[in-house]
Structure 1
Amino acid sequence: MSEEKHQLTSILNSVRDDSESIKKILPLVYDDLRNMAHHQLRRERPGHTINTTALVHEAYMKLVKFPPEGDWDGRRHFFGVAARAMRQILVNYAKKRSRQKRGGENQPVEFEEGFYMTEKKADELIALDEALTRLEKMNERQGRIVECRYFAGYKVEETADILGVSEATVKRDWTTARAWLYSQIKESI
């Protein structure tokens, strides 16, 4: 394990016992989290989405407040969980948008600077999340590959490293998962 990976793993695992460790993590992961968030937000209408910084900070807070059970297994584990956190945040925004569109939760809504999601985008993201949840129940690895490739923007090589599988496996599962998700989303929208 490289020194940087070992350092991050040690700090991540010490967060439960030492709240000061949280301050040490962000500088080690910020640029990568920002790249992940930027990649995801490029799919949204320019200038009308939650901004990159807000997505990074929300995902980071979710990661340190609610870490996975057991110990962290280094950078790849951290960034795999980060991809899932960003997915959940964006889906929650989409669901909120969808409820507002249908008149649900008729309560004053806080203005969130820089956030706007079209009704169509919200519906598509919700349909993707529901289909991805079904896919994960059938084939967890394919679901994780979709999270890494689609939500985190990782390349095939990076996804293979994060999941500990071959690049050929990532390519094969990515192709299969996309086809299955497309058919599921097409039926629901």
Structure 2
Amino acid sequence: MSGDVTLLLQAWRSGDAGARDRLAALVLPELRLLAGRQFRGERAGHTLQPTALVNEAWLRLSGLERIDWQDRAHFVHVAARLMRGILVDHARRRDAAKRDGGQRITLTGLDVPAPEDGLDVMALDAALARLEQLDPDKARVVELRYFGGLGIDETAEALGCSPATVKRHWQAARAWLYDALSPG
């Protein structure tokens, strides 16, 4: 599938509008699975649903006119960043409307001590922005693993490094985020 996605991205970049539609048939199911995983641990009544997240991400991806798509890994990285942005935008709108501290999401897999109803997505975004300033590689690993739903090997492929490096970065980023997101 990775090669098919890369070929379709190249065709889309070259102006083949049909390639975008064929690409959608390949990647939308994967994006839906990813969004479903992100929402699996969420509190009941979350106002943003996985399908809405995928649809919004696809609309934004489809609107990117001048992006030089390189391969499937590049596509997943951009999709993960867009999903992160959508979740943060949603939390900000909700926070502005309710003024109660924002939308809560869990950070499954990072073992971050979180309140009963989840983790503040805006705090996560701010922490990832700080981590990106300190160590962009570790921030990309978090983004690809958490928002992109990639495994260790896929993340290594996307970043062009070894799985052992990804494991080290993931472990260090988890520890850093644990401290950054812990109360007090």
With the length of structure 2 as denominator, give the TM-score of the two structures. 0.80
- Give, in angstroms, the shift of residue 126 of structure 1: 0.3
Aligned to 2:79, which of 66, 77, 82?
82
Does residue 132 of the first structure (1) align with residue 128 of the second (2)? Answer: yes
* Whole-Å separation in 1 of the counterparts to 2:146 and 2:5: 25
Q: Are 1:173 and 2:169 an aligned pair?
A: yes
Give CA deviations for 1:95-129 in whole Å, capped at 9, x if unaligned.
Answer: 111111229xxxxxxxxxxxx94597687110010
Conserved? CA contact 2:104–2:120, under 8 Å: no
Once the two structures are overlaid, the 10-residue window that deviates more, 129-138 or 150-159, is 150-159
Structure 2 runs not aligned, ≥5 long: 106-114
**Residues 42 and 118, structure 2, Cα contact 8 Å, conserved in 1:** no
Q: Residue 36 of structure 1 contacts residue 83 of structure 1 at CA under 8 Å; is this kept in 2?
A: no
Equivalent in the alignment of 1:30: 28
Q: Which runs of 5+ in 1 are unaligned?
A: 104-115
Question: What is the CA RMSD across the aligned residues, in angstroms?
Answer: 2.6
Equivalent runs, 1:10-29 vs 2, <5 Å: 10-16=7-13, 17-29=15-27
Residue 47 of structure 1: how far off its partner (Å): 5.1
**1:155 — aligned with what?**
151
For residue 30 of structure 1, report the CA deviation from its aligned partner. Answer: 1.6
C-alpha change, 1:146 and 1:67, in structure 2 (3 Å) is farther
Q: Which amino acid aligns with 2:123?
A: A
Measure, in 2, the Cα distance between the counterparts of 1:133 and 1:60.
23
Q: Judging changes above 3 Å, is the alpha-carbon distance between structure 1 residues 137 and 118 closer, same or farther for their aligned structure 2 residues?
A: closer
Q: Per the alignment, in what secondary structure is the counterpart of residue 153 of structure 1?
A: coil
CA distance in 2, matches of 1:67, 1:141: 27
Q: TM-score, normalised by structure 1?
A: 0.78
